[in-house]
Chain A
Amino acid sequence: MILSNDRNHLLSPLGAKITLAVLLLVAVLVPLLNLSVPPGSAFHVPTYVVSLLGKYLCFAMLALSVDLIWGFCGILSLGHGAFFALGGYAMGMYLMRQIGDRGVYGNPILPDFMVFLNWKELPWYWYGFDAFPFALLMVLLVPGLLALVFGWFAFRSRVTGVYLSIITQAMTFALLLAFFRNDMGFGGNNGLTDFKDLLGFDLQDDGTRAALFVATAVMLVLAYLLCRWIIGSKVGRVLIAIRDAESRTRFLGYRVEYYKLFVFTVSAMLAGIAGALYVPQVGIINPSEFSPANSIEIVIWVAVGGRGYLHGAILGAILVNYAKTYLTGAAPDIWLFFLGGLFIAVTVLLPKGIVGSLDQLRGRLPGGFKPKAQAKVQEMPGE
C-alpha cells in the first residue's frame, strides 16, 4: 500500500484545466479575430477591445499575486498596487528612453518632463533603462527588493493581521506621495506617457497590440502555473498551515517568517510583471496607480472570485473590471457604490466567492463529483 499526498481540492484540477484552456484559447483567438478578420465582419475584434482585454489580464495577474499570499498564507496585503506600479514605472522608464529625440523638445537623452524642469542631465537611476533586458530585470528586482526589505522587518517582528494590512497601505501611500513630487524624477503628477515604441515596434500598431496581448496571456498562464507549483509543493502545505495556525507551525520547527518572506517576494514580483505588461497597453503610468484605494480594489476582485483558488482571483479580476468598464461608461457616478455594494454582498452572501460557492455546490450535488478532499490510498505494484 502506498500513501500519497492528496491533491488539495483548492487545486481542483477541473478548475485549473478550464482556466488554462480558456486562457490559451483566448490567446490564440483574440489576435486572430483582430488581425485576420476584416473590420466589417461581425467576428472582428477591434484593437481597442484587444487592449482592454489585455488590461484585464494584467489585473488578473495582479489578483493572482494577491491570492497567492492572502488565500494561501493569510497575508492580507493592501499595498500590492505599489508593486504593480513599480513594475509599471520600470517599463515606463524604458519606453520613455525609447522615445529618444522624437519628444516635443527633441532632446535625445532627456525625457520631455526633465527638459521642462530644466534638468541638464539624466539622474543616475535612469541609467541602463535604455536597454530592454536591464528594464526587465528592474521590473522584477525593484518590487522584489522592496517586498524583501519590507517583509523582513514586518514578518520578523511578527506583524500580522490588520496591523500588517495597515502598514502595507501606509507603504503604498508613502510611495504615492513620493512619486507625486517632480524632483523625484519620475514625471511627478503626470507620470510617464507619450510612449512611441517597444523593441522598435510601434505601440499604436495593431500587430504590436496583438503581440502584447499574447505576451500578457502567456505570462498569466506561466504565473498561474508557478503559483500552482508552489502551492502543490510542501511549501504550499506549510503556507496553508501558517494561514490556519501560525504559532502551531512554529512549534513544528518551521521558520514562519522565511516562508512568508518567500511568498511575499514572489508575489510582489508577479505584481511587478503585471504592471510592466499593463503600461505599454494603456500607454501611461502615473502616481495614481499607488493610490491606496487601488490596492483595496484588488482584494475585492479576489474576494469576488473566491479566495484561495488561484483561478478564482483571475475570474474575479476579469468580471469586476468588465463591470467597471461597463458602469463607468453607462453610469460613472455609481461605480464606487457598486464596488462597495458588491464587496458587502459577496462577504454576506458568497463568503467563499464565486469559485468557492461553485465548489460547494458541486460537493452537494447527488452523485455529482464531490471535490475530492481525500488522499488517495493507492494500491500500486512496486515503485
Chain B
Amino acid sequence: MSEAPVREVMIQSEAEPLEPAAAPHPAADTILYMDGVTVSFDGFKALNNLSLYVKEGELRAIIGPNGAGKTTMMDVITGKTRPDSGEVFFDGGIDLTKLDEAAIANLGIGRKFQKPTVFESQSVFNNLELAQKGRRDVFTGLFARLSGEQRDHIGRVLERIALTDHVGRLAGNLSHGQKQWLEIGMLLMQDPELLLVDEPAAGMTDAETAKTAEMLQEIARDHSVVVVEHDMEFIKALNCHVTVLHEGSVLAEGSLESVQNNQHVIEVYLGR
C-alpha cells in the first residue's frame, strides 16, 4: 500500500514530465483499468466491450447471472486469456495484455478461483508457505529456509482465516468452506496489491458466508479487492460499490440499493 504512490512517481518521472498524449491513460489512482475489452470464444462474445475501473484501495463487488463473463474477466486480468481487443492496465501504466500469468502474479495481482483450488496433497502450512511473497526462482527455493518473521506471518494469516488448529492437515482433507478460506489465506500470504476473488461464498453455510464477508472486509482495509458473487446477502454484507455484468458488458454500476432498483437489472434478474 505504502509503496504504490512511490511507484507512480517513478513512472511519471521516468516518462516526460508532461502526460503522454497517446492512449487515454488511466488515472494515477486507478489500480485496475479495463477499457473496451472483448473476448470471443468461437464467435460467442464472453466479454463484449467491457469497461471497468477500480480505484486503489477500493472494494468492488461484481454481480451478474451465470455466464455473464465474470470469470472470463478475471482470466483476462490474470493473463490466462488474451483479449481480442481492448486495454487492460494495472497500477497506472502496466499493460497486462503483454504479460503471462507468473509475471502478472509477481506484479501483485492475486486470484482466488471459483472452484477452490488449493494444493490438496500438501498441508495447510505448506500451502501458505508456497503462496508467501518472496523470490520464486529455483535456486533460491533449493536453499530457502523460513525466517522467524515469515513464520510469524504464516501464523498471523492462519489466525485470520481461522485455520490455526488445522495447520498440519492436508488441504485436501479440509471442508469446502475451509478450503475457500485457505485460498483467501494464500492470497494474504502473497500480499498482492489487487485481489481478485471469484465466488468465495459458493457452497458455504450461512455462518461461513457471514464470516467470509467479514474476512474480505478486513482484507479490503489494506488491499484493493474485486469480488465476484451471486449471493445478495453476501454483497449486502460487503457494503460496497457494485458493478452488474450482463452478457459480457456492464449493465449498471453504483450502490447495491441503486443497482437493485435499476430497471435493466430487474429485467435481467427477474425477467427470465
Residues of A within 8 A of B (CB): 1-6, 8, 230, 233-235, 237-238, 240-241, 244-245, 247-256, 258-259, 262, 373-377, 383
Contacts of A6 in B (CB 8 A): 123, 125-126, 168
29 contacts between A and B (CB under 8 A): A2-B151, A4-B125, A4-B146, A5-B125, A5-B146, A6-B123, A6-B125, A6-B168, A8-B126, A230-B142, A233-B141, A234-B129, A234-B142, A237-B130, A241-B119, A244-B120, A248-B119, A249-B130, A251-B78, A253-B105, A253-B106, A253-B190, A256-B102, A258-B138, A373-B123, A374-B168, A374-B169, A375-B123, A375-B167
- A-B CB proximity, top 3 nearest: A253-B105, A374-B168, A375-B168
Given contacts A4-B146, A234-B144, A373-B168, 9 further A-B contacts (CB under 8 A): A2-B151, A3-B154, A3-B158, A4-B151, A234-B141, A237-B126, A252-B131, A253-B106, A262-B138
B101 and A247 contact, CB distance less than 8 A: yes
Q: In the complex, what residue of chain B is closest to A308 when comparing beta carbons?
A: B121
Per the bound structure, the CA–CA distance linking A98 and B106 in Å amounts to 54
Per the bound structure, the CA–CA distance linking A245 and B179 in Å amounts to 14
- Chain A nearest CB from B179 CB (Å) reads 12
Per the bound structure, the CA–CA distance linking A248 and B119 in Å amounts to 9
- Chain B nearest CB from A277 CB (Å) reads 25
Q: In the complex, what residue of chain A is closest to B125 when comparing beta carbons?
A: A375
B141 and A244 contact, CB distance less than 8 A: no
B111 touches A (CB below 8 Å) = yes
Per the bound structure, the CA–CA distance linking A134 and B167 in Å amounts to 50
A248 and B125 contact, CB distance less than 8 A: no
B155 and A250 contact, CB distance less than 8 A: no
B190 and A252 contact, CB distance less than 8 A: yes
Per the bound structure, the CA–CA distance linking A233 and B145 in Å amounts to 8
Contacts of A255 in B (CB 8 A): 102, 136-137
Per the bound structure, the CA–CA distance linking A74 and B229 in Å amounts to 34
Per the bound structure, the CA–CA distance linking A378 and B136 in Å amounts to 27
- Chain A nearest CB from B115 CB (Å) reads 10
Given A233-B142, A252-B186, A374-B123, also A258-B137 (CB < 8 A): yes
A-B interface pairs (CB < 8 A), number: 109
Per the bound structure, the CA–CA distance linking A248 and B102 in Å amounts to 10
Q: Which of B102, B113, B129, B142 contacts A250 (CB 8 A)?
A: B102
- Chain A nearest CB from B135 CB (Å) reads 10
Per the bound structure, the CA–CA distance linking A356 and B241 in Å amounts to 52
Per the bound structure, the CA–CA distance linking A374 and B166 in Å amounts to 9
- Chain B nearest CB from A383 CB (Å) reads 8
B262 touches A (CB below 8 Å) = no
B142 and A235 contact, CB distance less than 8 A: yes
Q: In the complex, what residue of chain A is closest to B192 when comparing beta carbons?
A: A253
Interface residues as binary, B147-159 with A (CB distance below 8 Å gives 1, 0 otherwise): 0100100110010
B217 touches A (CB below 8 Å) = no
Per the bound structure, the CA–CA distance linking A319 and B203 in Å amounts to 47
B106 and A245 contact, CB distance less than 8 A: no
- Chain A nearest CB from B113 CB (Å) reads 7
B130 and A233 contact, CB distance less than 8 A: no
B125 and A253 contact, CB distance less than 8 A: no
B51 touches A (CB below 8 Å) = no
A241 and B122 contact, CB distance less than 8 A: yes
B211 touches A (CB below 8 Å) = no
Per the bound structure, the CA–CA distance linking A235 and B129 in Å amounts to 12
Q: Which of B138, B155, B190 contacts A3 (CB 8 A)?
A: B155
B129 and A5 contact, CB distance less than 8 A: yes
Q: Which of B101, B126, B129, B168 contacts A251 (CB 8 A)?
A: B101
CB-contacts of B76-117 with A (<8 A): 78, 80, 100-102, 105-106, 110-111, 113, 117
B144 and A3 contact, CB distance less than 8 A: no
Contacts of A248 in B (CB 8 A): 113, 117, 119
Contacts of A258 in B (CB 8 A): 137-138
Per the bound structure, the CA–CA distance linking A238 and B119 in Å amounts to 10
B41 touches A (CB below 8 Å) = no
B44 touches A (CB below 8 Å) = no
